[in-house]
Chain A
């Protein structure tokens, strides 16, 4: 059976009432998470994972995936209406989206964002349908050395792209890798850094850490900030004008492509594609000066890239079993909790599940388009709730969520401690994504490195003599060198300016 036939079967399952309800629930919850300032998709999916424990695997994954791309949609609303990104990938949208809202074109900004997101999401999912089976076959050529090298590349990318200081990013990566060492040695079974605490035998839970660093820390930061005024948006003005359409069409296309290709590379994260799409539009535009003053392309391009990225990043997860961002890592956790191992064999073993989930991406994107266009008023009214209620409510959610993972108060403690750590690190402008990705990839990296060495009888050359592995390692080294040089240049330029 080819991809299309399988996809049609998937649609038959995704369109059953049961699965539609879970997709819709996920979309609504996701949009809500996107709208709530501070809570992004990583914390959102992590907090809501326990909700899916009673569902069967297909429904659970449909719902979590819907939460993920729902949050990517919803993040835009706050960017446009209160100039606060609902999640990190909507930062760029603030630049022009908020300006448009101030000029009374907020509806058009949200409209084009929803349409661009829809096109980006659907395109990426179509490409996923076409590419999944060939890529899954190719993925079998990945042995432990290739996996190690690929994850090394992911970690180098997230480090190199993380922020202004490579040193800070490296420190955060190493912090994550060290955290990953805690618990039972994955190969020999010896306890490491557990200090006789039985709960630590399992390691520091990845999901409580994500809830803490991205959820609790954000709540603390939101609680500090002042209230924002919400700009009124009227429904009538939701559809962009003809001129705006014309200006956006190319931007949506380019944003979609940029998002898709960056989504295939593990470790890029959701923010880079939006920035790249924005910069590309600004460079190509005949009116670069309009950017930052309410240019609709400045909303259309990053929003398309954002959702195209979100759906494309499912490719490395489903095909290779490698999560490319903290949110995807949470989704991978959901597969594992349900006894499924994402990777090439999943397509062969559970085609029903995989293709139903893929079909549900299409369904979810349609739902979000419908949810977003007419219901923007509802979402905007949530923003008028006092921050104190929102923060307290979300914190309760986090605590219940952390407890329900394993029914252990230890996880609540882990979450709160990492909430504080995350808060301090955010204040000091240290990037958090490298820590989280290193924490999730660490055990896999260690395992694949040690398995590679078992295969070669302890000879490290196995990593450099296999072509795919050698290529990834070479790119990883290049990434680190280039980011060092780039940051050094930036610093030199800054110094030259101050002189």
Chain B
């Protein structure tokens, strides 16, 4: 009887708690320093979500170690919905998957809530490059394996994994992988002619493609990017499995009450559909793709499995 009562009070407490949620400000953690593109997107969203959630949403930057510092902290928060944060797939997954990182959290340490942005991968070259299209590039990579210098935005970044996917789709093609750190460095090195090919995300190159400085060869997505409508996609070119992107979504620690998750999904979904949110994000070259509930949950799991496969590959690849 006692236990039953206790259970009853707990449930009602849980229910009324969820009905009232949120009653105080929500901390929205960004695992990167202020000013990066995740931060920009988070701040635009937070300002609008304050209206849809009825509480202020405070963006808290916990940068460091490629996001590991912030995600470590997020995984240790109380699952009450007041401490949530952005996870950036697949960078998030590879932090978990790379044993050298010694992450104290895993894929099950979090509750995925809602996705905000999906920035597809792209392969691009300088405007005067001899590689006019993907076919040229892949033939060259077969003819002179491990010679074409190809830059990523970091070890085990989505771009690094994308190179491995292209190599998987075209046995015999081998790129010489050069890891740089982030978009601006890639652009300088490509424009300076120090490296030949870059794998990066659409959001990082829109301006330069429009200015005619660089050429997008292919977008690694199932649909054409509205920012680069003339660039074909990988499925169009017969590479249906070469799909790579980086996403930004919101997650909380594991064990969040379903009602709280639902309330957050509703509030954020409404904010993301707001014309102001759409316009501001598109102005910064970020493509919105809202995924919530079962869809985001599945995406989160699938992405982890894919990242696990290619992380393993990267570790075994003879030419690191």
Contacts and interface: CB of A to CB of B under 8 A. Distances in A.
A191 B181 CA distance: 17
A201 B70 CA distance: 12
A340 B100 contact: no
B98 A189 contact: yes
A184 B35 contact: no
B155 A184 contact: no
Contacts of B37: 339
A9 interface: no
Contacts of A188: 100, 155
B39 interface: yes
A457 B176 contact: yes
Contacts of B189: 143-144
B239 interface: no
Interface residues of B, number: 41
Given A202-B64, A337-B33, A337-B34, A191 B188 contact: no
Nearest to A320: B188
A5 B156 CA distance: 44
A447 interface: yes
B191 interface: yes
A339 B39 contact: yes
A189 B180 contact: no
Contact of B194 (A57, A143, A447, A457): A143
Given A188-B155, A189-B98, A454 B176 contact: yes
B116 interface: no
Contact of A338 (B34, B62, B64, B192): B34
Interface in A6-58: 53, 57
B275 interface: no
Residue of B37, B40, B69, B182 ringed by the most chain A CB atoms within 10 A: B69
Interface in B183-222: 184-185, 187-189, 191-195, 207
Contact of A455 (B63, B65, B155, B195): B195
A496 interface: no
A198 interface: yes
B255 interface: no
A79 to B, nearest CB: 38
Given A339-B35, A349-B207, A447-B181, A201 B64 contact: yes
Contact of B178 (A202, A337, A345, A451): A451
A319 to B, nearest CB: 12
Contacts of B176: 454-455, 457
B292 to A, nearest CB: 28
A190 B101 CA distance: 6
A401 B194 CA distance: 40
B133 interface: no
B155 to A, nearest CB: 6
B68 A201 contact: yes
B72 interface: yes
A471 interface: no
A163 interface: no
Contacts of B187: 345
A60 to B, nearest CB: 10
A198 B65 CA distance: 10
A141 interface: yes
Given A143-B194, A191-B102, A201-B69, A339 B36 contact: yes
A144 to B, nearest CB: 7
Contacts of B69: 198, 201-202
Given A187-B179, A189-B101, A201-B65, A339 B34 contact: yes
Interface in B60-86: 62-66, 68-69, 72
Given A189-B100, A457-B146, A337 B68 contact: no
A403 interface: no
B109 interface: no
A190 B64 CA distance: 14
Interface string B153-187: 00110000000000000000000111111101101
Contacts of B56: none
A343 interface: yes
A49 B40 CA distance: 20
B148 to A, nearest CB: 11
B178 A53 contact: no
Contact of A345 (B181, B184, B195): B184
A140 B181 contact: no
A186 interface: yes
A53 B192 contact: no
Interface in A436-483: 447, 451, 454-455, 457
B218 to A, nearest CB: 23
B52 interface: no
Contacts of A345: 184, 187-188, 191
Given A339-B36, A451-B180, A454-B179, A189 B66 contact: yes
19 contacts: A143-B194, A184-B66, A189-B66, A191-B100, A201-B65, A202-B64, A202-B65, A337-B35, A339-B33, A339-B34, A339-B39, A341-B184, A345-B187, A345-B188, A406-B62, A447-B181, A454-B176, A455-B178, A457-B146
Interface of B: 33-37, 39-40, 62-66, 68-69, 72, 98, 100-102, 146, 149, 155-156, 176-182, 184-185, 187-189, 191-195, 207
List the 3 shortest-distance A-B pairs measured between CB atoms, nearest first: A339-B35, A143-B194, A140-B192
Interface of A: 53, 57, 140-144, 183-184, 186-191, 198, 201-202, 336-341, 343-345, 349, 406, 447, 451, 454-455, 457
Given A451-B179, A454-B179, 5 more contacts: A140-B188, A339-B34, A341-B182, A343-B184, A345-B184
